[in-house]
């Protein structure tokens, strides 16, 4: 994904949860179905963007992603929340809900 396309998505009116992940990352595989469930739960209230750090080095570097999984929640182009590692679904759901 180009940096321009990424910026266009995060600057939209809909909050965006960005999941920085890697194919070789065990915790990323653990979080993947959780992220999919939350995407379905929130429907059109939330956009989910999955970014492979190995294929999107420039984007990962720009946002100082040092470990995976790293989650960033954007609202109108601004980071409103950030976390790394595995999170319980209910905790992540509440964080997203609080920013909608």
3-class SS of residue 85: coil
Region 14-34: mean pLDDT is 97
Domains of the chain (ranges, CATH numbers): 3-98 (3.40.30.10)
| Res 1 pLDDT > 80 | no
Share of residues in the chain with pLDDT > 70 (%): 100
Ordered strands of the 78-84 beta sheet: 47-52, 16-21, 70-75, 78-84
- Rg for the chain (alpha carbons), in Å? 12
Q: Which tokens is 77 given?
A: 């182009």
Give residue-wise pLDDT tens across range 31-73. Answer: 999 999 999 999 999 999 999 999 999 999 999 999 999 999 9
Under 8 Å between Cβ of 23 and 68: no
Q: What is the pTM of this model?
A: 0.95
Active site residues: 25, 28
Q: Which tokens is 49 given?
A: 């963007």
């Amino acid at each position: 994904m180009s940096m321009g396309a990424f910026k266009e998505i995060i600057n939209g009116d809909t909050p965006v949860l960005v999941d920085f992940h890697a194919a070789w990352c065990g915790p990323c595989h653990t979080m993947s179905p959780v992220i999919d469930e939350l995407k379905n739960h929130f429907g059109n209230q939330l956009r989910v963007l999955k970014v492979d750090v190995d294929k999107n080095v420039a984007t990962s570097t720009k946002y100082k992603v040092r470990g995976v999984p790293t989650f960033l929640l954007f609202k109108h182009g601004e980071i409103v929340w950030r976390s790394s590692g595995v999170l319980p679904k209910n905790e992540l759901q509440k964080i997203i809900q609080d920013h909608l």
